[in-house]
Copies of this chain bind each other. A is one copy, B any other.
């Protein structure tokens, strides 16, 4: 590592040696908001342009590519088949996302932390990933843009080819004050950003957790339509999830007569409400029935996706009677999902047995089924997914 004042000389040397790509980790450039810092960044930019060097940064973590072993500092390299790209103006966040993402089904294949963006800013990387065939989903953390029009155009073009998810930080006056000292970019008015995201139809995330869950949802599923079936063990939870999902504009339509008749033939209980949401009550304890009912709902032509609710505490109680109950239930849901084209989303409610919920969570992620701990988060993510894919369909 070298000090900021030595960086121009090292870059000159790189140019002479014919180095093609340079990523500068060193800070002390435009982000320190002094004349010296800005002059130093201008100099670095000039050298890179003159020498034909592809420059990333300065003040950044640089590039990550899990396939070729290119890594950020302090991150274990992943081995997976992910197709997600991540563009970040924050280095810490780029690291965090690659690591945290794995636990949440977000397999980042390529990431870039672009810091002060002396030469290339997020829009440039977006243009690149747009045409990268190894990538089918792009997530971004942006604090601001040097050239707003360029970013708007890049977003529009990229989002038509593959989903783009943006978390824009520095939305409030207080947040903006904080961004200023971080990467030295202009944040731009919040309403301009809101408008740009609306216009380009990119999915919007409001914070890190939202970014992770939204990216998980888009990485694991697509959803062409707004109508959902709800399957649970309890009447109370049916009401809760119906409320929460409907509030975001998703629909819980009454199932077709044909589907209702099929469900009646599966469930032995008299008087079960087969309309939607479906409260399976005691029949829930039989995984085979859960699988059959799920398949029946998935065939309903008015249903685009299914939300399944699981309460780890109840499952633990059933497990007292039936060994491996939880594994059997999880497998039944995974089997039903894999035998149809209808997406399944799992909501794991808050519970006293959080350790068990965590195991269930991991099992669904492993099976590439989106799983949530908060129904409101699930509703928002599923709505964004439906928005994107119905819009994409309408473009053909």
Give residues in A with beta carbon < 8 Å to B: 74, 90, 92-93, 96, 99-100, 102-104, 143, 169-175, 177-179, 181-182, 206-210, 212, 234-240, 242-244, 246-247, 251-252, 273, 277, 311, 313, 317, 349-352, 354-355, 358, 361, 373-377
Task: Report the minimum CB–CB distance from A205 to chain B (whole Å).
Answer: 11
User: B100–A242 contact, CB under 8 A?
Assistant: no
Q: Which residues of B contact A93 (CB under 8 A)?
A: 236
Closest 3 CB pairs of A and B: A175-B243, A172-B246, A90-B236
A170 adjacent to B206 (CB under 8 Å): no
Q: Roughly how many angstroms separate A104 CA and B350 CA in the complex, as a whole number?
A: 9
User: A242–B178 contact, CB under 8 A?
Assistant: yes
Bound CA span A163–B305, Å: 39
Knowing A252-B174, A311-B96, the reply to whether A240 touches B208 (Cβ < 8 A) is yes
Residue among A251, A311, A317 with the highest chain B CB neighbour number at 10 A = A311
For residue A235, which residues in chain B have a CB less than 8 angstroms away from its CB?
A: 90, 92, 178, 181-182
In the complex, besides A103-B354, A208-B350, A355-B355, 4 extra interface pairs with C-beta distance below 8 angstroms are A96-B236, A169-B239, A172-B243, A355-B358
CA–CA, A373 and B357, complex, Å: 14
B351 touches A103 (CB 8 A): yes
Q: Compute how far the CA of A375 lies from the CA of B175 in the bound complex, rounded to whole angstroms.
A: 14
Q: Which single residue of chain B is at the shortest CB-CB distance from A243?
A: B175
Q: Are A170 and B102 in contact (CB under 8 A)?
A: no
Given A174-B252, A273-B181 in contact, is the A207-B352 Cβ separation under 8 Å? no
Q: Is the CB of B313 within 8 A of A239?
A: no
Closest to A245 in B: B174
Nearest chain-B residue to A141 (Cβ)? B236
CA distance A182 to B170 in the complex (A): 45
Residue of B99, B175, B247, B277 near A352 (CB, 8 A) is B99
Q: Are A100 and B208 in contact (CB-based, < 8 A)?
A: no
Give the residue name and chain of the B residue nearest to A354 (CB).
B358
* Contact A170-B239, Cβ < 8 Å, known A209-B376, A352-B99, A355-B358: yes
Q: How far, in whole Å, are A103 and B353 apart by their CA atoms in the complex?
A: 8
Shortest Cβ gap from A197 to chain B (Å): 15
Instruction: Report whether A277 and B376 are in contact in the complex, using a CB–CB cutoff of 8 Å.
Output: no
Q: Are A376 and B210 in contact (CB under 8 A)?
A: yes
- Taking CB as reference atom, which chain B residue is nearest A143? B239
Residues of B within 8 A of A375 (CB): 207-209
Contacts of A244 in B (CB 8 A): 206-207
- Whether B311 pairs with A179 at a CB distance below 8 angstroms is no
Q: In the complex, A311 Cα to B236 Cα: how many Å?
A: 34
What is the bound-complex CA distance between A273 and B100, given in angstroms? 27
What chain B residues lie within 8 Å of A277 (beta carbons)? Answer: 178
Min C-beta distance of A65 to chain B, whole Å: 19
Q: Are B100 and A175 closer than 8 Å at their CB atoms?
A: no
Q: What distance in Å separates the Cβ of A217 from its nearest Cβ neighbour in chain B?
A: 14
Docked CA distance A174–B246 (Å)? 7
